[in-house]
Amino acid sequence: MPQLSFISDEALASAVQHLLDIAAKARTKADKDFERNVIDPFAVLFEMSGFNVNETTWLTGEKNRQVQKTLQNHVGTFHQAILGLMAGWQDLGTGGVVDVVSTDRKIIAEVKNKHNTVKGSDKVKVYDQIETLVMTKGHQYKDFTAYYVEVIPKSGLRYDKEFTPPDSAIGQLRRANPLIRQIDGYSFYALATDVPDALEQLFTALPDVIESCSDYRFADREFANTFFRKAFGQS
């Protein structure tokens, strides 16, 4: 029996392995490039003393910080890939007009990993791009519903609302349009799969998949669960 009803075990394992490979390459690159990077020596002194850490701990933390940024950029792509592997959905890849599309459901979506991935001032550009797709006569996505997906929402909120980002140039919000929406990841996974807790099921399955794809073993699985509940609230 598959781990998840909305994606095959093989597809899930492939997406996980791809992200693990990115993480491993990023770590190797950080180790190689560390000596070449210019590190603020004043910050080193104050971080070590202010955080009360020794040289080894500081070095490990600094390398992890550099790798973390690279990895987090790809977590959004992971969600895009997972959604695109579901029945009735297609991942349009990088450089596409949008990230994922379901022709059957008449939905297109731009998928971002966190609510702050895109600066507030740039969200209006996303609005304008997807408005053109769903409102232009004769376009293949005319009258589709376009979603701006923020997988990790702000303050554990869940929402599916009209997307009305502010345009600082004119001091106004973009016009509300029921076909242009802003949604959190938990709600969008439910919408995409018709499984109310699909995102939670995916998160719960990931430790087993990660362990099957690597030598890593999770000592305390509840540790990460607390962050999931904080990000998305209680089911």
Phi, psi angle pair for 113, to nearest 5°: -70, -40
List C-alpha distances in Å: 90 to 15, 80, 84, 231.
14, 9, 4, 27
The larger pLDDT score, comparing residue 3 to residue 193, is at 193
Classify residue 123: in a domain, yes or no.
yes
pLDDT above 90 coverage of the chain, percent: 74
pTM of the model: 0.90
Residue 105: inside a domain: yes
For residue 137, the model assigns a pLDDT of: 95
CB atoms within 10 A of CB 220: 7
Whole-number Å distance between alpha carbons of 199 and 88: 17
Residue 124 has pLDDT above 70, yes or no: yes
pLDDT score of 104: 96
pLDDT at position 235 is 58
Please report whether residue 119 resides in a domain: yes
pLDDT for residue 120 is more than 80: no
> Nearest to residue 147, comparing CAs of 98, 91, 104, 109?
109
* One-letter identity of residue 52: N
Q: Is residue 58 domain-resident? A: no
Q: State yes or no: pLDDT of 87 exceeds 90.
A: yes
Q: How many CB atoms lie within 10 A of CB 106?
A: 14
When mean pLDDT is compared across 8-17, 163-172, 201-210, the lowest value belongs to 163-172
Report which of 149, 229, 134 is spatially closest to residue 181, judged by C-alpha positions: 149
Instruction: Look at residue 204 and tell me if it is in a domain.
Output: yes
Is residue 110 assigned to a domain? yes
Distances (CA, A) of 34 to 47, 49, 55, 63: 17, 21, 15, 8
Domain count of the fold of the chain: 1
Q: Is the pLDDT of residue 99 over 90?
A: yes
Q: How many residues can be counted in the chain?
A: 235
Residue 194 lies in a domain: yes
108 in a domain, yes or no? yes
**Residue 174 structural domain:** 76-235
What local confidence, expressed as pLDDT, does residue 63 receive? 86
pLDDT score of 228 more than 90: yes
H/E segment holding residue 30? helix 9-33
Query: Is the pLDDT score of 51 beyond 90?
Result: yes
